[in-house]
Amino acid sequence: MPQPRKILLKVNLNSRLHGSALLALTAISACKGASTGSAKSQALEPKANVQVSSTSETEPQKSCHKFVQSFYDSYFDKLNTEITNKHAVPAEEQVLKQQLPVLAPELTRLLAEDRKAQDEEPGDIVGLDFDPFINAQDWGGKYWVESVNVDHGICHANVWGIDAGIKKPVVKPDLKMLNNNWVFTDFFYPEGKQHGDASLKGTLIDLRMIREQSKNKKPQS
């Protein structure tokens, strides 16, 4: 199953971080188990357990269901290409640069900001170090849309995975319509916090705050 999501800064920075921020991010990764498969060493199989939309779904639900499933089918294809071709553009980067956006502008900005910060600090972990779309560092299982619900224009999707014969919820994206197309506004991670699910947007904001606190506390040269 997905590995612990180690999103804290390295030890040489931790001593300078605010205690409450550290506790918040520690809680995000506390409930994750170890992965049984490596996404970098084996082909992924996203389509074998795909669930078709229920006939009882409304048209907005069917539309959202189809969009989310298509996104994950396409994303696993990108991951497979990344695995087999070391020169391929990383799957996450491809999502950020798609001509037809699949992410809401705020989420795109936060992810791009996080990637830039990490690129500028290659020796430390100052940003996400897990795949935010599949909620894992390594994953050898399958993903499918288990259910969707559309409420006041917001689609809440439940994406499940299967690994070692066990089915469980993996990530719960939220979406809205933008220019007549669905876009992801956030991704929620089951069991990420003691009281409710951790969110990608919240995690990115927490990481930005920690980077800013660390930068402000660095000795002036």
Q: Look at residue 44 in the predicted model and tell me its pLDDT.
A: 52
Q: Which of 66-80, 87-101, 206-220 is the least confident region?
A: 206-220
CB 163 within 8 A of CB 140: yes
Q: Sign of the CA dihedral 110, 108, 40, 68?
A: positive
Query: Is pLDDT larger for residue 122 or for residue 177?
Result: 177
- Side chain identity at residue 184, one-letter code: F
In angstroms, the CA 24 to CA 13 distance is: 16
Domain limits, the chain: 11-217
Q: Mean pLDDT over all residues of the chain?
A: 78
Mean pLDDT of 45-54: 51
CB atoms within 10 A of CB 87: 5
Q: Look at residue 164 in the predicted model and tell me its pLDDT.
A: 72
**Which CATH number applies to 11-217: 3.10.450.50, 3.90.180.10, 3.30.70.260, 3.40.630.30?**
3.10.450.50
pLDDT tier, 54 (very low <50, low <70, confident <90, very high otherwise): low
Sorted by sequence, the CB contacts under 8 Å of residue 132 that are 6+ apart come out as 92, 111, 187, 200
Query: Is pLDDT larger for residue 187 or for residue 80?
Result: 187
Q: Closest by alpha carbon to 44, among 138, 170, 142, 161?
A: 142
Mean pLDDT of 3-26: 36
pLDDT tier, 197 (very low <50, low <70, confident <90, very high otherwise): low
